[in-house]
């Protein structure tokens, strides 16, 4: 295996447009589809690539892209050609499409169909074959980013592309106009009022703490709801409909009279008011993150968007056996907490660790966490600036591909 040391070694060519095929096999939840769709859309709209997204679960993507028709095998949305990918229908005629493809991206260790791989090997001109990996802040990512590995049978070479929070990684996804959109939204009274009205929720009083909650099944949830209910300050909780809304329904059974808690429903108890929102598109989800004071997020996609929202957030990392996910959590906390003073940094670590099931840091304590809200808000802005200085993943990918093909 060999590696390229940094992007400074690369020369950007002017060759456009490029044709790119992205393969996405949805393993669990929405992160795989979400990241692939963002990348496909950005490469098509900002870099004028001709992007073709093969995805095996259209139903999952449809949650994020409501205009998607799951009954159609092929369709074009936002400049991206989307095709339902299932191996039984991956015929030689489809594999032959590689004759016009310059870039092949297999996302998150999915395996290319054998017919397609064979067609890649037969293509007369060079193909850039990228393995897009999961996001991590761990130190080893720097060493493995842009490493290459030859195929054991074909004259093909795969390059591993790692998202990350270091300048020697691929960075994370961020559209070029995202921060402009955010600033326009938060500075427009009319747009923010329209957003609340669209949701059918009365705009909260300025003294109310607004929290969004998007997480995996979490054993600490009931404790957190109890703390919010019994708190001194009013708190509005906004929850996209899904698995976690079912857990919340159980907590509110005595108020609702049933375990059903779906989009459009709400409940109030003591200091806590909660609203269940429709599962929203990616574009609408950004507005949710911009409208709150604290965001609970999970996995990879919502985790990255929370960072660009420049608001305090709490991450629920994807749980793994034997707590294998905790080193990923530690690595992120080390970066985000780096410039915080000791007391808010320790409170951040305690709360994130407890939320992720690490009881060695003590119980889940909202009061201990939220007392440092101002420090977390300030750090959210400086962290987003640091992340922006690295450059976004689509840009780095475009530079690498164009210089490989020059």
Give the residue numbers marked as catalytic: 32, 300
CA distance 248 to 245: 5
Up-side HSE of residue 255: CA atoms within 13 Å toward CB? 16
β-bridge partners, 277: 240
Angle (CA) 393 397 400, round 5°: 140
Which run of H or E residues covers position 54? strand 50-55
- Structure-token pair, residue 401: 């591909």
| DSSP state at residue 376 | H
Dihedral sign computed on CA atoms, order 177, 182, 187, 192: positive
- Cα-flanking dihedrals φ and ψ of residue 315, to 5°? -100, 130
Helices and strands of the chain, counted as H and E runs: 17, 14
Report the C-alpha dihedral over residues 69, 75, 80, 82, rounded to 10 degrees: 80
Inter-residue contact 276 to 266 (CB < 8 Å): yes
Nearest to 210 by CA among 373, 30, 385, 375: 373
| DSSP state at residue 256 | H
Q: Are strands 266-269 and 272-277 parallel, antiparallel or unpaired?
A: antiparallel
Cis previous bond, 17, omega within 30: yes
Listed in sequence order, the DSSP H helices in 253-392 are 253-256, 282-290, 301-308, 326-336, 342-355, 366-370, 373-390
- Structure-token pair, residue 125: 């001109």
Which run of H or E residues covers position 277? strand 272-277
């Amino acid at each position: 295996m060999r590696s390229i040391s940094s992007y400074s070694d690369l020369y950007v060519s002017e060759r456009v447009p490029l044709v790119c095929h992205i393969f996405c096999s949805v393993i669990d939840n929405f992160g795989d589809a979400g990241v692939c769709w963002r990348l496909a859309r950005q490469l098509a709209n900002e870099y004028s690539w001709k992007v073709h997204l093969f995805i095996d679960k259209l139903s999952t993507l449809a949650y994020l892209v409501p205009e998607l028709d799951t009954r159609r095998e092929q369709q074009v949305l936002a400049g991206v050609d989307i095709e339902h990918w299932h191996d039984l229908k991956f015929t030689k005629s489809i594999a032959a499409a590689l004759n016009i493809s310059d870039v092949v991206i297999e996302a998150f260790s999915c395996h290319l169909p054998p017919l397609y791989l064979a067609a890649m090997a037969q293509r007369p001109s060079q193909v850039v074959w990228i393995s897009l990996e999961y996001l991590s802040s761990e130190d080893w990512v720097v060493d493995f980013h842009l490493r290459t590995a030859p195929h054991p049978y074909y004259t093909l070479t795969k390059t591993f592309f790692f998202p990350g929070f270091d300048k020697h990684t691929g960075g994370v996804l961020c559209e070029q106009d995202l921060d402009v959109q955010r600033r326009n939204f938060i500075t427009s009274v009319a747009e923010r009022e329209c957003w609340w009205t669209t949701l059918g929720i009365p705009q909260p009083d300025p003294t109310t703490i607004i929290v969004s909650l998007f997480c995996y099944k979490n054993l600490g949830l009931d404790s957190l709801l109890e703390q919010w209910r019994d708190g001194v300050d009013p708190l509005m909780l906004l929850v996209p409909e899904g698995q976690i809304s079912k857990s919340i329904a159980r907590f509110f059974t005595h108020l609702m009279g049933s375990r059903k808690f779906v989009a459009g429903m709400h409940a109030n108890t003591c200091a806590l008011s909660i609203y269940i929102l429709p599962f929203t598109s990616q574009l609408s989800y950004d507005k949710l993150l911009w409208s709150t004071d604290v965001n609970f997020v999970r996995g990879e996609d919502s985790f990255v968007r929370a960072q660009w929202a420049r608001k305090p957030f709490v991450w629920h990392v994807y749980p793994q056996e034997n707590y294998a996910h905790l080193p990923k959590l530690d690595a992120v906390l080390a970066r985000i907490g780096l410039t915080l003073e000791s007391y808010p940094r320790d409170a951040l670590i305690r709360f994130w660790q407890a939320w992720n099931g690490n009881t060695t840091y003590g119980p889940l304590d909202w009061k201990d966490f939220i007392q440092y809200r101002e420090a977390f808000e300030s750090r959210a802005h400086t962290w987003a600036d640091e992340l922006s200085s690295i450059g976004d993943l689509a840009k780095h990918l475009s530079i690498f591909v164009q210089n490989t093909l020059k």
